[in-house]
Amino acid sequence: MFERIAVGVQQDDGTGDTLRAAFEKVNENFSRLSEALAQIAAQNGDAQAAAAADWPGDFVARHVSDMAPDAAPPLLGSVWVDSSEPAVYVSVGTGSRDDWLKLASRGA
C-alpha cells in the first residue's frame, strides 16, 4: 500500500534511498492517504444518505486532485480534496467556481 523509505544500515552509508527518491515516496504516500481518506468519507456519507429516507440520491460528488477546484461544482454539497496544499473544499452552489468554500487547509 505505502512505499517504505530505505534509510540504510547506518547514517550516510549509501545504502538507503537518495533524498529525492525518499521525498518522491513521501509525496506518493500522502497522495494515497488523501485518496483513501476521501474514499472513506464518501462511503460514510453514502451510508448516512442511504439511512435518510428523505435524501434524494447519492450523498455527494467527490474529487481528489493535486490542485484547487477549477470549475463549477457538479452538485450542491460536493467535496473536493486538494492534495497539494492540502485543503478541503465543499460546494455551496453550482453556478461558478466561486461556489467552492474552503473548509480547511494545513496550518489553518
Look at residue 55 in the predicted model and tell me its pLDDT: 55
Give the three cell numbers for residue 108. Answer: 489553518
At residue 60, the pLDDT reads 57
Return the C-alpha cell found at 1. Answer: 500500500
Cβ(82)–Cβ(66) below 8 Å? yes
For the chain, which residues make up each domain, given as ranges?
19-105
- Phi, psi for 55 (deg, rounded to 5): -75, 135
Distance from C-alpha of 20 to C-alpha of 43, rounded to nearest angstrom: 35
- Tens digits of residue pLDDT in 20-65: 999 999 988 888 887 887 777 777 766 766 666 655 555 555 777 7
Burial 10-34 (b: 16+ CB within 10 A, else e): eeeeeebbeeeeeeebeeeeeeeeb
Element (H or E) spanning 39, and its range? helix 19-51
Residues 63-103: tens digit of each pLDDT: 777 888 888 887 777 888 888 888 888 888 878 888 888 88
Classify 22 as helix, strand or coil. helix
pLDDT score for 45: 67
